[in-house]
Amino acid sequence: MLSLFPVIDDIIYFLVIFCCLFAELHVQFAQFDKDGDGRVTRAEFIAVMKSLGHTLDADEVNSLLTAADTDSQ
């Protein structure tokens, strides 16, 4: 079926994909943010990484958290 408004169809498609990706990101973030405060603490991060079978040393944890912390809090 041809649409009379292909640009609108593209925008709707983009919004659906964006919402699905955002929902998935929210679910994944919640796996790290165990107390639900909207932040991932060092302890929460280490606990999740250990549960996934990754043992990180202090330098690796610092490096990953520094790279991910965009507001330095």
Distance between CA atoms of 65 and 53, rounded to whole angstroms? 18
Which tokens go with 65? 């958290």
Give tens-digit pLDDT for 10-60: 899 999 999 999 999 999 999 999 999 988 899 999 999 999 999 999 999
pLDDT of residue 1: 56
Question: For the chain, which residues make up each domain, given as ranges?
Answer: 6-68
63-72 — which CB contacts under 8 Å span 24+ positions?
Answer: 68/40
* pTM metric for this prediction: 0.66
Distance between CA atoms of 63 and 50, rounded to whole angstroms? 17
- The structural architecture, per CATH, of the domain 6-68 is Orthogonal Bundle (1.10)
Contacts of 9 (CB under 8 A, 6+ apart): 3
| DSSP 8-state secondary structure symbol assigned to residue 21 | H
